[in-house]
């Protein structure tokens, strides 16, 4: 049989893209099409230019009249938007214009693996290395619950610098072993179960991966005589198991396949080392400047850790419960949570692969994964408000993930400790303070390492509003004895919050100074987030003391600090933006207050969507800012939108809405709409009475 690397198999999806009307020099959305660089079953691909961000991009187009292809394209955009990994081509934008749908991706200067194979003779070692890189991308997608369904060499790109990325997730679906779909993929690469019933599982991708690797190494497709081909025995065994007819007989995960291939070829472990970390604006995932380094030793498999902490069945129960949330936008909120969770798991897997060689970072990331598991488990168990809160918690969690990159101290934490700490944080964010304190106390009892115990004690005291400041004095002594300035800085900031509650005149400033001194002793590259938080606390203290000009400057510092570490769409920007809007209203700088409130609303929408009730907080502040600016009617519209969002999920008689009715009544009064104002005042008063009597919602 003639040996060839050309792909002679055919896709099972429609392949006619001739109805895509597009020419070099056209514009699609804001993107200029420069030249066509590819075409196929999933559309035509152009090298393009984004004039707003002044960068080169790749633009994939299909005609919206061809509903099947357009559906695949939109599916690819949604799936890719949840993934952030060095071995996956990142997506920037998805949209429709006229009769065309488009997806905008990073433009890779290079070629496909199939063309790379044809361009020059490749050694087995080179081929296996490239496929291992692609396998890491597939493993990250699987960890996020995304199945490629059409993996082959022509759907993997290799840049001129050798960097491999998986592309063309056009047939991607969320992992689903129970539901049959239309048969989709490329014949010759499709697992038997996919060809017969269209199921989408990790095992389907693993089969296609092994077919493509076998074809790359031998030039022929696998057949019954695989044992007689001239392949190293260990490599053949890895491929042979991945090609098992029974999905259950294949390897447990793609991560295991990659590990076994590296062992078979005696390849050193490949680790992607981050030279700089920032949040990707489109979703808040981790973006990286990449430097490749090889390192011996193996980490625990990311996919296995995810499966243990957050099984697919638990995720499925979460999404099903989200779709039953009261209100007309339950499906939209469920879809948003699916995207947020997929992005969170993809970002975690990427961070773990980059950092698992460092014991300190690996411990930190394992703790964060335990926390994510607690977020989802509590939402599934508690339902109601916990389901609405899960999107907020996922947004925060994703934004905080890069903090593990600066961990340098290994803390010996048991699994029991990790879960107790995770639950304490999740419960506190759900407003269940007594349970959160109990969880923190369990963490104190379970701690084996002095630093772990001290961290749990800080959490416990921070959660308890009755904590007195002298408790922190002893903790500070313990932190100093351990020589741990990171812990000392954090506990000092927690002490500041206690000082604000106790209103002791000099207390807050003293602890701010202690935190600042501890941060100053730490390596500057590890303190960006702490410095931002310190600025925010200085702003809170200044605002409390009436020093609003100082407060505005401190909130600006906090804002810049968070942007530098997490990007300009980070969820954690909401507190400083809100603080700035408030103090600028006091300073009568109304235009700036409105601008900051508008930005806070845009970030809330970016993470949570237009119809999440949490957005009501940002809309209410925006309405207040506009009213103070003199735009009373515009402000009333924002307040009405905020109230409508809350009513959709809580009902119009929820005591929690009393203050919103009251604020809207004041705005109506300012507009001389006395009838409406009195109606709302009466409703607010009735709800205040209802709440005080303990009827509900106390």
CA distance 640 to 667: 10
Which tokens go with 187? 């014949």
CA distance 436 to 457: 12
CA distance 57 to 45: 10
Cβ atoms 347, 395 nearer than 8 A: no
Q: Helix, strand or coil for residue 218?
A: helix
CA distance 667 to 659: 13
How many CB atoms within 10 Å of residue 550?
16
User: What is the distance between the terminal CA atoms of the chain, rounded to a whole angstrom?
Assistant: 78
Task: Name the helix (H) or strand (E) containing 590.
Answer: helix 590-608
Q: What is the 3-state secondary structure (H, E, C) of 310-323?
A: CCHHHHHHHHHHHC
Active-site residue, from 7, 50, 150, 484: 150
Q: What is the 3-state secondary structure (H, E, C) of 250-302?
A: CCCCHHHHHHHHHHHCCCCEEEEEEEEEEECCCCCCEEEEEEEEEECCCCCCH
Residue 546 backbone dihedrals phi, psi, to 5 degrees: 85, 5
Contacts of residue 38, defined as CB under 8 A and 6 or more positions apart, other chains included, come to 44, 45
Assess whether 109 carries a catalytic annotation: no
Cβ atoms 468, 498 nearer than 8 A: yes
Q: Which of 38, 59, 169, 168 is nearest to 104 (CA)?
A: 59
Count CA within 13 A, CB hemisphere, residue 589.
14
Cβ atoms 29, 46 nearer than 8 A: no
Which tokens go with 330? 């339950």
Report the DSSP beta bridge partners of residue 481: none
Angle between helix 469-482 and helix 485-502 axes, rounded to 10 deg? 170
CA distance 599 to 569: 9
Q: Helix, strand or coil for residue 56?
A: strand
CA distance 376 to 507: 38
Q: Which of 170, 162, 158, 166 is nearest to 209 (CA)?
A: 166
CA distance 235 to 116: 21
Instruction: Give catalytic residues, as residue numbers.
Output: 150
């Amino acid at each position: 049989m003639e040996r060839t690397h050309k792909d002679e198999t055919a896709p099972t999806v429609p392949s006619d893209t001739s109805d895509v009307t597009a020419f070099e020099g056209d514009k699609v959305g804001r993107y200029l099409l420069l030249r066509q660089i590819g075409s196929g079953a999933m559309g035509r691909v152009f090298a393009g230019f984004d004039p707003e961000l002044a960068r080169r991009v790749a633009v994939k187009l299909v005609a919206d009249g061809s509903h099947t292809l357009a559906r695949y394209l939109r599916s690819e955009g949604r799936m890719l938007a949840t993934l952030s990994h060095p071995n996956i081509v990142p997506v920037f934008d998805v949209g429709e214009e006229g009769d065309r749908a488009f997806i905008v991706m990073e433009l890779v200067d290079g070629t496909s693996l199939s063309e790379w194979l044809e361009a020059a003779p490749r050694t087995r070692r080179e081929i296996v290395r490239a496929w291992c890189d692609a396998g890491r991308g597939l493993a990250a997608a699987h960890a996020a619950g995304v199945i490629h369904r059409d993996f082959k060499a022509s759907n993997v790109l290799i840049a001129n610098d050798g960097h491999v990325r998986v592309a063309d997730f056009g047939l991607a679906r969320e992992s689903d072993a129970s539901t049959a779909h239309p048969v989709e993929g490329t014949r010759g690469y499709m697992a038997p179960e996919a060809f017969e019933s269209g199921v989408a599982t990790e095992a389907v991708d693993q089969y296609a991966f092994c077919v493509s690797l076998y074809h790359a190494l031998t030039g022929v497709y696998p057949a019954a005589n695989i044992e007689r081909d001239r392949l190293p025995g260990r490599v053949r065994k890895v491929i042979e198991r991945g090609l098992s007819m029974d999905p259950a007989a294949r390897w447990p995960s793609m991560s295991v396949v990659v590990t076994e291939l590296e062992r078979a070829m005696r390849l050193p472990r490949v680790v992607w080392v981050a030279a700089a970390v920032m949040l990707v604006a489109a979703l808040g995932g981790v973006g990286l400047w990449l430097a490749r380094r090889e390192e011996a030793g193996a980490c625990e498999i990311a996919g296995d850790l995810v499966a243990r902490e957050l099984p697919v069945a638990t995720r499925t129960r979460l999404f099903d419960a989200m779709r039953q949330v009261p209100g007309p936008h339950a499906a939209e909120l469920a879809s948003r949570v699916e995207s947020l969770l997929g992005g969170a798991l993809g970002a975690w897997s990427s961070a773990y692969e980059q950092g698992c060689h460092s014991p300190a970072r690996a411990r930190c990331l394992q703790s964060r994964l335990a926390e994510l598991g607690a977020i989802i488990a509590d939402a599934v168990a508690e339902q109601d408000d916990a389901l609405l809160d899960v999107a907020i918690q996922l947004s925060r969690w994703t934004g905080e993930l890069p903090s593990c990159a600066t961990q340098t101290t290994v803390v010996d934490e048991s699994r029991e400790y990790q879960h107790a700490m995770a639950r304490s944080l999740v419960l506190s964010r759900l407003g269940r303070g007594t349970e959160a304190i109990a969880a923190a106390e369990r963490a104190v009892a379970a701690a084996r390492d002095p630093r772990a115990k001290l961290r749990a004690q800080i959490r416990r005291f921070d959660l308890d509003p009755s904590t007195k400041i002298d408790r922190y004095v002893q903790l500070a002594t313990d932190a100093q004895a351990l020589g741990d300035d990171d812990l000392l800085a954090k506990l000092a900031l927690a002490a500041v919050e206690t000082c604000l509650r106790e209103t002791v005149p000099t207390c807050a400033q003293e602890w701010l100074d202690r935190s600042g001194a501890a941060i100053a002793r730490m390596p500057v590259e590890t303190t960006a987030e702490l410095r931002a938080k310190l600025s925010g606390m200085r702003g809170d203290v200044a605002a409390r003391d009436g020093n609003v000009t100082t407060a505005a400057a401190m909130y600006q510092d906090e804002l810049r600090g968070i942007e530098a570490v997490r990007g300009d769409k980070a969820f954690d920007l909401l507190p400083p933006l809100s603080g700035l809007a408030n103090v600028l209203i006091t300073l009568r700088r109304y235009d700036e207050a409105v601008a900051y409130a508008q930005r806070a609303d845009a970030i809330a929408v970016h993470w949570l969507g237009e119809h999440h009730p949490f957005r009501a907080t940002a809309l209410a502040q925006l309405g207040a800012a506009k009213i103070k600016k003199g735009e009373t009617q515009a402000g009333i519209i924002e307040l009405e939108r905020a109230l409508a969002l809350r009513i959709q999920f809580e009902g119009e008689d929820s005591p929690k809405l009393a203050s919103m009715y009251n604020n809207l009544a004041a705005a109506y009064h300012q507009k001389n709409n006395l009838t409406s104002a009195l109606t709302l005042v009466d409703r607010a008063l009735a709800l205040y009475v209802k709440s005080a009597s303990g009827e509900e919602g106390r």
